Amino acid sequence: MAGTSELVAAVGDADFAAQVLASELPVLVEFTADWCPPCRMMAPVLAELAAERVAELRVVTVDVDVNPETQAGYGVLSMPTMMLFRDGEPIWSAVGARPKRKLGQELTDAIARARAAA
């Protein structure tokens, strides 16, 4: 599956570590699939978040049908699953589509908690 916009990159098993785990910015990963209607609903939400938070957050997608190692490695069973990574570790996750405002607040809260704990 291609990235949903120029600011939402598609990453896979081969480049997940470099693109997500080694990122200096927090990275929101959407585990997705072409056959998943809620995943398609999230595409414009993720594109908007990526554009609005370009300086503070990266947004990527992982197509689970062609990247089984990454999917299995993080125990992803349902799509869409979103995970927020910071410093190479998942710090937040959620399953299912959600409105942009709610997702944005969840990400803000998760990043703030991670910073406070560091």
Does 4 participate in catalysis according to the annotation? no
Single out the catalytic residue among 9, 20, 36, 59.
36
The C-alpha angle 76, 117, 102, rounded to 5 degrees, equals 50
**Would residue 36 show up in a list of annotated catalytic residues for this protein?**
yes
**117 Cβ contact list (under 8 Å, min separation 6):** none
Active-site position among 8, 39, 64, 83: 39
Indicate the burial class of 116 (C-beta count within 10 angstroms; 0-12, 13-18, 19 or more).
exposed
List active site positions.
36, 39
